[in-house]
Structure 1
Amino acid sequence: KNLEVLLETEAEMKRAAEGVAKGMSEGLKHGVKHRRSQLELESIEAYDPEAEAKFVAALQS
């Protein structure tokens, strides 16, 4: 009986760890995409100081 409980607990812990790892991976992907977008916007701003205002206006329209 103790072995069964131990194996069930181990399986639950593995599922939880997989969920945490997946969440972290998705978070990192989002962070990389967000950072890449910010870098692209900063590059555009170097050529057009009003780029951010234009970007916000485009999102709102």
Structure 2
Amino acid sequence: MSDSTRPLKTQCGHWIGDESRYCRASDGIRHYLPGYRCPQHTPAALQGKAEVPSGPGWPIHREARA
């Protein structure tokens, strides 16, 4: 597959198999382990689950003690 057919980092990279194409949506893009995804194609959305809200990071009880 050539680079011209792959989605950009500002586009959803979810492969829509029934249509044999990438989603390529550009609104609300976030990076996940499988790549950049729009809100419809996040890992949670594809499983029918609610999106986990982003938080401030590690809770205080999880910090390394010196």
TM interval, short-chain normalised? under 0.3
**Higher share in strand:** 2
Structure with greater contact order relative to length (CA < 8 Å, sep ≥ 6)? 2
Q: Which has the higher helix share?
A: 1
TM-score normalised by the chain length of structure 1: 0.23
- Structure whose alpha-carbon radius of gyration is higher: 1
